[in-house]
Amino acid sequence: MYKNNKSVLKTQKKMTKTKIFHYFFLQETYSLIKRFSIQTIRRPSSIISGIIQPLLWLLLFGALFQNAPVGLFTKEIKYGQFLSAGILVFTSFTGSLNAGLPLIFDREFGFLNRILVSPIISKNTLLWSSSIFITIITMIQTYTITICSLYLFSYKLNSHKIAVLTLITFLITISISSISIGLAFILPGHIEFLACTLLVNLPILFSSTALAPLYFMPHWLQIIANLNPLTYAIESMRFVSINNNWNYNSTIMEISWISISLKQIIYLLIGLTLTSFKTVKKILSDKFE
């Protein structure tokens, strides 16, 4: 009887410690997100430029090829409709690529040191708060571009389509923002960080199917595009937004050796997200704990 009571007390203590940990973890994450929000409100140009830039891409490239024959790039759609899915993924990719920038400025100005020496319950709150905040901002930007695309190209979206598009955008944002946050702790300063993002941004875009389909590309570029995760996100969003009759087993891409369905692409993006998130958590634990 005494042993049973002792085990019950131990279990209750563990549960209490877990609740306390979760409470402070959520409180710290909320406080850091609130701080990022205040910074964004004080300099709204960052979120406005994140909306204007992809809109310019959408309008300028759409106007450049507006007289292209219907079906030149893909079946029975105009180039603007073809382009909009690529611009949506490009918006989430560009926004999440800058997720580590506030942290690297905090490093340089010394505020990050104050956070690290404070009695925070877990260093992972830095990763979670930055990822959640950049996801919220990127979703706002992406939905704005989606509304503009609906107005310009007369898409027909329903709740099921919007849910799938949101899921794909969410997975791309979380995975790329995790990588960006990891770079913020590895690279020595913001100059190197900006140089890295500028070096990666356009090559990743042009080596995907954002602007042109696979069969328009030379063979060597097709191989690179097939290795680019953005290609799978773009093709799945394009397929879902254009087609009315689809399901999760629908074939999205046919590579020379395999056919890939929507369900497999979602699993691939989930795997990429989990891998990048765990890798950055490992970097944080090795660096600060």
Q: Domain residues of the chain, as ranges?
A: 2-288
pLDDT per residue as tens digits for the range 22-74: 777 777 778 788 888 887 788 777 777 777 777 777 777 766 666 665 555 66
Sign of the CA dihedral 202, 204, 207, 209? negative
173 φ/ψ sector (left φ>0, alpha ψ -120 to 50, else beta): alpha
- Residue 183: name the closest of 127, 123, 112 by CA: 127
| Strand, coil or helix: 256 | coil
Write down the pLDDT at residue 7: 53
The dihedrals phi and psi of 221, each to the nearest 5 degrees, come to -75, -30
pLDDT per residue as tens digits for the range 189-248: 778 888 888 888 888 888 888 887 888 888 888 888 888 888 888 888 888 887 778 788
- Residue 37: name the closest of 110, 130, 114, 121 by CA: 130
Write down the pLDDT at residue 1: 46
